[in-house]
Amino acid sequence: MDTIISNAEQKMKKSINALENEYAVIRAGRANPAVLDKINVDYYGVPTPINQLATISVPEARMLLVQPWDKTSIKAIEKAIQTSDIGINPQNDGGSLRLMFPPLTEERRRDLVKNVNKYGEDSKVAVRSIRRDAIEKLKNMKKNSEISEDDLRVAEKEVQDLTDRFCKEIDNIAAKKEKEIMEI
């Protein structure tokens, strides 16, 4: 019974981590190297993450500097960034790429907030699904006479408390990201 509850808790923590990773990629007007995390470059026929091919730094609040270790890969990195969905055109100065992040418009901020809320809701759905699976396993244990009715009620309450705690944490993370996006 305890293993079912602890497994559910571990899965819920993974849902929170996945949400935080999704939020790290959403750019809020500031330069954040995490926006390049999901972009792979075709490097000698192998899809390779940019952070394994170059140093990524933030020299200014609205600028990323990508300095490839292998200067011959700069064109491939530039092409990968251009074809990605981050909406920024890199400036190639021969040895490095500069990505200038324009200030977000009000409309774009609202779209980003919608995405933030959608990701938050998706995470809550995942947490509730984990709750449902855990309670189902507990009910099967009760059906097989492995636990008593009282144990089942206590375990269900514990799983529900976990679910409530993680849903509240998701709401807090989403509200923080929303505030970050809407601040000018």
- Comparing CA positions, the residue from 171, 134, 111 lying closest to residue 2 is 134
Separation between Cα atoms, residue 66 and residue 81, nearest integer Å: 11
CATH topology of domain 33-100: Gyrase A; domain 2 (3.30.1360)
Domain ranges of the chain: 2-25+105-182, 33-100
With tokens 């989403």, the residue in question is: 174
pLDDT tier at 71 (50, 70, 90 boundaries)?
confident
Read off the pTM.
Answer: 0.71
* Residue 111, pLDDT above cutoff 90: no
Sign of CA dihedral 127, 132, 133, 138: positive
CATH code for residues 2-25+105-182: 1.10.132.20
Mean pLDDT (whole number) for 93-112: 85
Residues in contact with 156: Cβ distance below 8 Å, sequence separation at least 6, in sequence order: 135, 138
Is the fold of 2-25+105-182 the same as that of 33-100? no
Separation between Cα atoms, residue 8 and residue 5, nearest integer Å: 5
